[in-house]
Chains A and B, each alone.
Chain A
Amino acid sequence: MRAFPRKWLAVLIALSIVIPLLHPVLPDLVSNYRLFLVSTMIIASIAVLGLNLLTGFNGQISLGHSAFYAVGAYTAAILMDKLDCPYYLTLPAAAILSFIVGYLFGLPALRLEGHYLALATFALALSVPQILKYKWLEGLTGGVQGIVLSKPEVPFGLPLTEDQWLYYYCLIVMLILYWAAANILKSRSGRAMMAIRDYHIAADTMGIDTSLYKTVTFGISAAYTGIAGALSASAIAFVAPDSFSFFLSIKFLIGLVVGGVGSLTGSVIGGIFYVLVDNSAQALSTFVKNELGLQFDLSAYTVFGILLIVLMYLMPMGIAGGLFAVIRRLRRS
């Protein structure tokens, strides 16, 4: 794993803290909408990081992370809606519940490898929306109607807008989670996780408790994604079963691969890409139609498909992998 240069990291974090404060000075450039957009990117990058811990660093594939995202989002929503729980307390609750679900799911997953694990996680992704609609849970989950929430209020009378606060709230959570992930990966446990990914049998013979590591990794990965889900419930202020379809899992997967498998930087890029790709595909399709005068109706979905293929063609190791390769080449010359 290539670490991001520390100096640059500090600069980036400083910038991400200072820039939003410029909102009153530059209301157009640092607009509430843009802060909200960045918040959704942060949330997505936490979810992608969760998937990355499992797939990128531990070698277990998952098509079911939309399920953990949903567990987190619904935990937060139900706590806020039914118990008037303050929004910041929903995060630990969502993390714990998602961890338990992930850990339990990791147990049968031990017996399954490769494509079968894909099937099992895929089944999980399909069943969660159904479970949310289940007749006897309707009272809790709101059934197909979902739950409408309020956005987090600015605490302590800080002179911030709602979106500024949402941004900082997400940013703080993200920094903590990334810091924790970086530390886990650097530790003995992290090396064990990666050893299991690379040489499963060798890791086993060296005395690593592979079953324990794999299930706990599953739990941690689920917890990360669950926290992202809980944040999204606060940010969007609405949850409904339709928001957590199998396609969400696919989008996380796209974020993971496009960002960079097995790279922390890649997860951030993946989260940004996850949000930007739809918008840019749409902009590109309108551009082609209006500016280049193409007669054929090139839909945004087509552009999206082409973008993915071209990206993989240019950077099969993801954007993070591609960037590092470019930097290395520049340094050498």
Chain B
Amino acid sequence: MYKTNRRAFVAGASAAAILSGTRAAFAQKKYDDGASDTEIKIGHTNPYSGPASSYGVIGKLHQAYWKAVNERGGINGRKINFITYDDGYSPPKTVEMVRKLVEEDKVLCTFNTLGTPCNTAIHKYMNQKKVPQLYVATGASKWGDPQHFPWTMGYQPDYQTEAVIYAKHILANIKNAKIAVLMQNDDYGKDYFEGFKKGLGKDVGQIVKHATYETTDPTVDSQVIQLKDSGANVFFNISIPKFAAQAIRKAADIGWKPTQYLNNVSSSVAATMKPAGFDNCQGIITSLYLMDSTDHQWDANEDMKGWREFMAKNMPGANIADGGYIYAYSVSYLMEQTLKHCGDNLTRANLMKQAASFNKFRVPMLLPGISVSTSASDFYPIQAVQLARFKGESWDLFGDIMHAESS
């Protein structure tokens, strides 16, 4: 009973503060659930167990990042209470965990919740509850829809935009292209493929073969053989690192030499290109927006040095070849800045407002020239990528930075 009374008292007090805040200019502090003078609560879900557990590194970096922020003194004097739960990449579990975060833990917002199906399952709920669902960790194109879902925002360039860029590049550079597509049979693969078809427009007939695989398939050998048999001279590879590496190697093994386009998801040198064999990877084209820690061209870069320092200090023993750490670092930084911009006005509405007011904002680990821009009508923070061709043992960036406006 005591607890209830105290809560009621606090609620009353903060309500009073809000009332007086509207009247008096000096009382600027405003709080929603999850924020106070001393603390800001942020929620997060991530698979740490089960088949998708390789994404667990993202959650681990977040934990280390917020711990480091707190050791520096927090944000505007407030400590970050980062609460992360395991959802095992299962949408029903995500619903359960996110409801716990919002209703029990009373977080100010969720941040970087991972997975397209998992985020789809909580999309409606978060918007009904009016709790910010910020910088979700999926590249699906549906996260930037402020008209219908004003409380949800993506982070990385969406898959469709990326696929459109490849399609345009193929049309501009390869005459009489015959395209073969390998696609993971889920929403991630589908999103890329839809974007790709859209990008080809009236030339969609150039796709001569489309083969899918399941993540439970041991290998994609059979699919690559089918693709080769179609006589295609262009290969668009929509697969996660393990299968991308298999496909690249199998194509070389059976003597199929198309022009290869590889989705950004598998652009990691350590996770895809090295296992596939550098010899087999020469000339592959992908698009990048983040730096790669195993790519020596960034060794002298200030961002990269800062990141390495952070990793050495806060996550000793972690495998720094894993691209997940770079991704998580950059998105954590953006979240930290968003909270900083909120100042003492830590309401959910203001948080969304601040998240939607970045203008050419530089976030570390993004490629030089790529920045974060958002507005009330633009909920896609990063929309630029740069094409790169694999040469030797690293990616060779070429051409301009491309800004494709997502439809």
Q: Do chains A and B touch in the complex (CB under 8 A)?
A: yes
Residues on A lying within 8 angstroms of B by beta carbon are 26-28, 31-33, 36-37, 40, 126, 130, 133, 143-146, 148, 232, 236-238, 240-243, 247, 275, 278, 282, 299-301, 304
- Contact status B186-A242, CB under 8 Å: yes
Task: Tell me whether B124 is interfacial, beta carbon within 8 Å.
Answer: yes
- Contact status B186-A236, CB under 8 Å: no
- Contact status A36-B186, CB under 8 Å: no
- Contact status A31-B49, CB under 8 Å: no
* Option from B49, B86, B92, B124 in Cβ contact (under 8 Å) with A232: B92
Contact residues, B92-123 vs A (CB, 8 A): 92-93, 95-96, 99-100, 103-104, 117, 120-121, 123
Contact residues, B57-110 vs A (CB, 8 A): 85-86, 88-93, 95-96, 99-100, 103-104
Task: Tell me whether B187 is interfacial, beta carbon within 8 Å.
Answer: yes
- Contact status A37-B96, CB under 8 Å: yes
Contacts A144-B186, A304-B49; A238 near B96 (Cβ below 8 A) = no
| Bound-complex Cα distance A275 to B89 (A) | 15
Kindly provide the distance from the CB of A247 to the nearest chain B CB, expressed in whole angstroms: 7
* Option from A31, A143, A238 in Cβ contact (under 8 Å) with B104: A31
| Bound-complex Cα distance A289 to B50 (A) | 20
Is chain B's binding surface mostly helix, strand, loop or mixed? Answer: helix
- Contact status B99-A33, CB under 8 Å: yes
Query: By the criterion of a CB under 8 Å from any partner CB, how many residues of chain B are at the interface?
Result: 36
- Contact status B89-A242, CB under 8 Å: yes
| Bound-complex Cα distance A160 to B96 (A) | 20
Contacts A28-B4, A145-B120; A33 near B104 (Cβ below 8 A) = yes
- Contact status B48-A33, CB under 8 Å: no
Task: Tell me whether B222 is interfacial, beta carbon within 8 Å.
Answer: no
| Bound-complex Cα distance A31 to B103 (A) | 8
Contacts A26-B4, A238-B95, A238-B121; A145 near B187 (Cβ below 8 A) = yes
Kindly provide the distance from the CB of A74 to the nearest chain B CB, expressed in whole angstroms: 14
- Contact status B190-A144, CB under 8 Å: yes
Contact residues, B1-16 vs A (CB, 8 A): 3-4, 7
**Which of B3, B49, B85, B103 has the largest number of chain A CB atoms within 10 A?**
B49
- Can you list 22 A-B pairs, Cβ within 8 angstroms, ordered by A? A33-B100, A40-B92, A126-B216, A133-B185, A146-B120, A146-B187, A148-B124, A238-B95, A238-B121, A240-B120, A240-B121, A240-B187, A241-B186, A242-B90, A243-B90, A247-B51, A275-B96, A282-B86, A299-B48, A300-B48, A301-B48, A304-B49
Task: Tell me whether B226 is interfacial, beta carbon within 8 Å.
Answer: no
Top 4 A-B pairs ranked by shortest CB distance? A301-B49, A33-B103, A238-B121, A144-B187
- Contact status A36-B99, CB under 8 Å: yes
Minimal Cβ-Cβ distance residue in A for B88: A278
| Bound-complex Cα distance A238 to B89 (A) | 14
Residues of B within 8 A of A275 (CB): 96
Residues of B within 8 A of A278 (CB): 86, 88, 93
Kindly provide the distance from the CB of B83 to the nearest chain A CB, expressed in whole angstroms: 10
Task: Tell me whether B53 is interfacial, beta carbon within 8 Å.
Answer: yes
Residues of A within 8 A of B125 (CB): 237
- Contact status A40-B123, CB under 8 Å: no
Residues on B lying within 8 angstroms of A by beta carbon are 3-4, 7, 48-51, 53, 56, 85-86, 88-93, 95-96, 99-100, 103-104, 117, 120-121, 123-125, 185-187, 189-190, 214, 216
Residues of A within 8 A of B120 (CB): 145-146, 148, 238, 240
| Bound-complex Cα distance A112 to B49 (A) | 34
Kindly provide the distance from the CB of B88 to the nearest chain A CB, expressed in whole angstroms: 7
Residues of A within 8 A of B216 (CB): 126
Minimal Cβ-Cβ distance residue in A for B214: A130
New A-B contacts (11) at CB < 8 Å, excluding given A240-B187, A242-B91: A28-B7, A31-B104, A33-B99, A36-B99, A40-B96, A144-B185, A148-B120, A148-B123, A236-B91, A237-B125, A242-B117
Residues of A within 8 A of B123 (CB): 148
| Bound-complex Cα distance A126 to B217 (A) | 12
Residues of B within 8 A of A247 (CB): 50-51
Minimal Cβ-Cβ distance residue in A for B185: A133
**Which of A31, A37, A238 has the largest number of chain B CB atoms within 10 A?**
A238
Residues of A within 8 A of B117 (CB): 146, 240, 242-243
Kindly provide the distance from the CB of A214 to the nearest chain B CB, expressed in whole angstroms: 30
Residues of A within 8 A of B186 (CB): 144, 241-242
* Option from B86, B95, B121 in Cβ contact (under 8 Å) with A300: B86
- Contact status A301-B53, CB under 8 Å: yes
Residues of A within 8 A of B48 (CB): 299-301
* Option from B4, B50, B92, B104 in Cβ contact (under 8 Å) with A236: B92
Residues of B within 8 A of A299 (CB): 48-49, 56
Kindly provide the distance from the CB of A253 to the nearest chain B CB, expressed in whole angstroms: 16
Minimal Cβ-Cβ distance residue in A for B212: A133
Residues of B within 8 A of A145 (CB): 120, 187, 190
Residues of A within 8 A of B190 (CB): 143-145
Residues of A within 8 A of B89 (CB): 242
| Bound-complex Cα distance A133 to B91 (A) | 17
| Bound-complex Cα distance A236 to B87 (A) | 14
Contacts A33-B100, A146-B117; A236 near B214 (Cβ below 8 A) = no
Minimal Cβ-Cβ distance residue in A for B122: A238
Contacts A28-B3, A31-B104, A148-B123; A243 near B187 (Cβ below 8 A) = no
Residues of A within 8 A of B95 (CB): 236-238
**Which of B85, B90, B92 has the largest number of chain A CB atoms within 10 A?**
B92
| Bound-complex Cα distance A227 to B86 (A) | 27
| Bound-complex Cα distance A32 to B93 (A) | 16
Residues of A within 8 A of B187 (CB): 144-146, 240
Kindly provide the distance from the CB of B309 to the nearest chain A CB, expressed in whole angstroms: 22
Minimal Cβ-Cβ distance residue in A for B317: A297
Residues of B within 8 A of A27 (CB): 4
Residues of A within 8 A of B53 (CB): 301
Minimal Cβ-Cβ distance residue in B for A247: B50
Kindly provide the distance from the CB of A296 to the nearest chain B CB, expressed in whole angstroms: 11
Residues of B within 8 A of A40 (CB): 92, 96
| Bound-complex Cα distance A247 to B51 (A) | 10
Residues of A within 8 A of B50 (CB): 247, 301
Residues of B within 8 A of A237 (CB): 95, 121, 124-125
| Bound-complex Cα distance A37 to B96 (A) | 7
Contacts A28-B3, A240-B117; A36 near B96 (Cβ below 8 A) = yes
Minimal Cβ-Cβ distance residue in A for B50: A247
Minimal Cβ-Cβ distance residue in A for B99: A33
Residues of B within 8 A of A37 (CB): 96, 100
| Bound-complex Cα distance A28 to B50 (A) | 32
**Which of A236, A275, A282 has the largest number of chain B CB atoms within 10 A?**
A236
Residues of B within 8 A of A31 (CB): 103-104
